[in-house]
Amino acid sequence: MKRRDFIKSAGALVVGFSLADHGAKAQFGSAPIPGSPDNRQLDTWIAIASDGTVTAYSGKEELGQGISTAQQQLVAEELCVRFDRVHLIYCDTALTPDQSYTSGSQSHPANFNHANLAQACATAREALIAMAAQKLGVPAEKLTASDGIISGNGKKIAYGKLIGGRKLNLTIDPNAKRRDPKEWKVLGKPVGRPDMAAMATGRFEYVHNLRLPGMLHGRVVRPPVVGAKVVSVDESSVKDLAGVVKVVVRNNFVGVVAEKPWQAIQAAEKLKVVWSRGTALPKQSEFHDLTRSQPSRDTLLVDSGDTQSALSGAAVILKTTYEHPYQMHGSVGSSCAVADVQGEKATLYSPTQGVWYQKTTGAMILGLKPENVHVIFRRGSGCYGLNGADTVSYDALVLSQAVGKPVRVQLSRRDEMAWENYGNAWTIDERAGLDAQGNILAWEHEAWSPSLGNRPGPSTPGNLVTGMLLGFEPARFSPGPARPPRAYSNNSNGVPSYVAGRVGGADQGTGTVRSERVLVHNVVSPFWTGPLRSPARLQNTFAHESFMDELAAHAKADPVAYRLRHLRSERVIGVLKAATQAARWDARPSPKPGNPQTGVVTGRGVACVAYEGENGYTGIVVEAAVDQDSGKVMVKRMWVGIDAGPISNPDGLRNQAEGGALQGMSRALGEEVTWDDEKITSVDWRTYHSLPLGFEIPSVECVLVNRPDEKATGAGETSITVVAAAIGNAIFDVTGVRIRRIPFTAERVRAALRERE
């Protein structure tokens, strides 16, 4: 479909504004991609047809998290039309606004607060009422809108009659009044997902199902080991295979194009490529210690400057190290994209989280002008961050350009798992001093995290494996010392919830401990890294919330009461209490007294967080059993308290909280990227351990804390953030043994239990 040119002549009376996605803004700046529509203009967001149906345009896409349903509810609510009269179009560079990436629990805050989509709808409703007032000769305050009809004083007129098919020509009014949550009819309700029936009956079209006329199928041939380069490619090795159209070699990128997928797969397997030797990889068993000695780029998040002296005055000092492995997105469907490059123009159908950045970086790869690259989002398998979606999109562009025809590329399982941008490994030192009563006097956190590449952003295709193979460089790493913090941000959750977060003379954290220091070292990773659901926040929270439990145990205090003693954020306290009350928390110190040291024993653990410092709140209680003979950890029940501001769709929120809790459990118990001296060895579901549908699933009870007067916050990445710590704390409660390394495999737990004896 073609979008009419809504945005050329705007009768701007009101000063527009935009609340940009702050996560992506921090990373890539707020400048929109040239050629993207003006986000201040109403017509960028809303179009009303003559039959009264509403088309809404959003830069935040459906990835399976349910945000399209919630956005459709939002538009229906603010514009006072029926849910099924709203048609939502998202993430198409020819049609929709540029809202940067759909990532990092940013869609709810970006589009449900007083900006962007929500404010566009509120502005449109007020504008329609003003137009109706003029047309009907009835004062605006006597008019109400309902089901797409404005009425009052016995007169009425439909939206379609007022504006149908024409531009609104207004800018977003920051003062337009949002509908009062108390009067919500559609928003805030558990509306079912409109795409559910199509998914359950096999009718839904994923990007994998897209079939264009004349489309061919591509397959890439990745290096066998990390760092290998192409020496030679023997095209004759596949020339006799049925259906092979072309072998494509560009720098170190190798791929084949065939008529059918199975032919492409066979050709990729049979193509003879000679590769150079790779680079030696560090030993996995020594990896965490090695990261400490690498050149680093350092960041201080908080530094009260007095932790040394505070610690020297402490009655006791505790110091421990936590280790989190690389983990992968491991999408159940390997990534897929379809590209159609014809001469100077390209169309890309991609499951990317950032269509606008695929447009600019795709253009760099093709050597085309960005304005000639059209990127259309199409849903793929759930991604949970930067899976193979962006890199396979580059693969499809390169192969399509080479043959001048539409090409669909789907990665092999191995290529997906061996080359994706993994969630970063972390090595975290925690140190705290307690006074004689067990109160925390000072807290120091020092962390090392290796990274390589990332999201490509507007201009760095080398941040992904395909870009690198084509000859682009990843973002440059420059080591450097930390500067004193100037503005407070806890976007990474590097700052524990229990310290004051004092920067610039104001306490901006969620806790009470005034002596604080958080220092982060970024070092170079041998593997690609990128955001994986709750990046940095999950790993930091694992360390903080495990350590808080260690401090509570040392102080012989109940872990919940001890947390409350050091918290001052009502939002964090609220979710912690919601979870613990639902769980009928057994208030006492850990470990559980009198537990036998053999057999299966049950205990409980707790954790909480203010996600990104202020973008969503979760508390969790886990009841877990440990088989002390085998070391197997069995999570029995979970209670999640979750606060995302005003609840837009309670069932959608619940689905996210439940899925996050169980995904967090899988990551805590089994998931770990592994490698040998030259390559990744976790390349399928036998070697990378995700909990299958058949495991004994704990019950997950969610307590939704509704805050209609607060800002809408993130929801998708919050519950997963607290799971690992809560399970580790439960293991400690059961056994008295602290496991400080993820995953909590049976072998690791059993070994720790043997040491206990």
Q: 336 or 606: whose CB is closer to another protein?
A: 336
CA gap 232, 229 in Å, rounded? 9
Tell me if 234 contacts another protein by CB under 8 A. no
Judged by beta carbon, residue 130 or residue 196, the one nearer another protein is: 196
- Tell me, by CB under 8 A, how many residues bind another protein: 62
Nearer to another protein, 21 or 701 (CB): 701
**Nearer Cβ to another protein, position 32 or 664?**
664
12 interacts with another protein by CB under 8 A: no
Q: How far is the CB of 637 from another protein (least distance, A)?
A: 11
Question: Quick one: 151 or 400, whose CB is closer to another protein?
Answer: 400
Q: What is the DSSP string of 647-665?
A: -S-HHHHHHHHHHHHHHHH
Q: Residue 59: CB partners within 8 Å, gap ≥ 6?
A: 90, 91, 96, 97, 98, 99, 100, 102
| Nearer Cβ to another protein (208/738) | 208
DSSP state of 481: P
Evaluated on CA atoms 657, 660, 662, 668, the torsion sign reads: negative
Question: Binding to another protein by residue 255, rule CB under 8 A?
Answer: no
Residue selected from 1, 141, 183, 201 as contacting another protein according to rule CB under 8 A: 201
Stretch binding another protein (CB under 8 A), from 359-367, 472-480, 617-625, 660-668: 660-668
User: Closest separation between CB of residue 517 and another protein, Å?
Assistant: 36
Q: Which is nearer to another protein, 216 or 366 (CB)?
A: 216
Angle subtended at Cα 673 by Cα 208 and Cα 618, rounded to the nearest 5 degrees:
80
Backbone φ and ψ of 219, nearest 5°? -145, 140
Residues 674-703: x where in contact with another protein by CB under 8 A, - otherwise, as a string: ----------xxx---xxxxxxxx-xx---
Q: Which stretch binds another protein (CB under 8 A): 162-170, 377-385, 486-494, 591-599?
A: 377-385
State the nearest-atom distance from the C-beta of 690 to another protein, in Å.
6
- The token duo for 605 is 């653990």
What is the DSSP secondary-structure string of 411-478?
A: --HHHHHHHS-BBPPEEEEEEEEE-TTS-EEEEEEEEEEEE-----TTT-GGGSHHHHHHTPPPPPP-
Q: Which is nearer to another protein, 698 or 736 (CB)?
A: 698
Strand partners, 300: 519
**Interface with another protein includes 103 (CB under 8 A)?**
no
C-beta of residue 362 within 8 angstroms of C-beta of residue 376? no
Chain positions 407 to 446 lying near another protein, rule: CB under 8 A, are 410, 412-413
- The two structure tokens encoding residue 283: 């030993």
Q: 163 and 48 in contact (C-beta within 8 Å)?
A: yes
Phi-psi region at 683: left, alpha or beta (left = phi > 0; alpha = psi -120 to 50) = alpha
Please give the structure tokens belonging to residue 473. 């460089």
Residue 240 interacts with another protein (CB under 8 A): yes or no: no
> Residue 462 interacts with another protein (CB under 8 A)?
no
Please give the Cα distance from 445 to 520 (Å, whole number).
8
Q: Which is nearer to another protein, 134 or 699 (CB)?
A: 699
Among residues 362, 382, 501, 559, the one that binds another protein under rule CB under 8 A: 382
Pick from 609, 606, 626: nearest CA to 549: 606
For position 197 contacting another protein by CB under 8 A, the verdict is yes
Binding mask 313-332 for another protein (x = CB under 8 A): -----------------xxx
- Contact (CB, 8 A) for 541 and 667: no
- Figure out which of the listed residues 26, 231, 242, 274 binds another protein, where binding follows CB under 8 A: 242
Q: Tell me if 298 sits within 8 A of 523, measured CB to CB.
A: no
How many other CB atoms are found less than 10 A from the CB of residue 680? 24
Name which of 217 and 571 has its Cβ closer to another protein: 217
Output the smallest distance, CB 498 to another protein, in A: 29
Least distance in angstroms from the C-beta of 332 to another protein: 5
Q: Does 231 bind another protein (CB under 8 A)?
A: no
Q: Where are the alpha helices (DSSP H) in 57-158?
A: 67-79, 107-112, 116-136
Of 485 and 716, which CB lies nearer to another protein in the complex structure?
716
- Is 662 a residue that touches another protein (CB under 8 A)? yes
Give the Cα separation of 181 and 19 in Å (integer): 21
| Residue 727 binding another protein, by CB under 8 A | no
Binding site for another protein (CB under 8 A): 63-66, 192-193, 195-206, 208-209, 211, 242, 260-262, 265, 330-334, 379-382, 384, 410, 412-413, 651, 655, 658-663, 665-666, 684-686, 690-697, 699-700
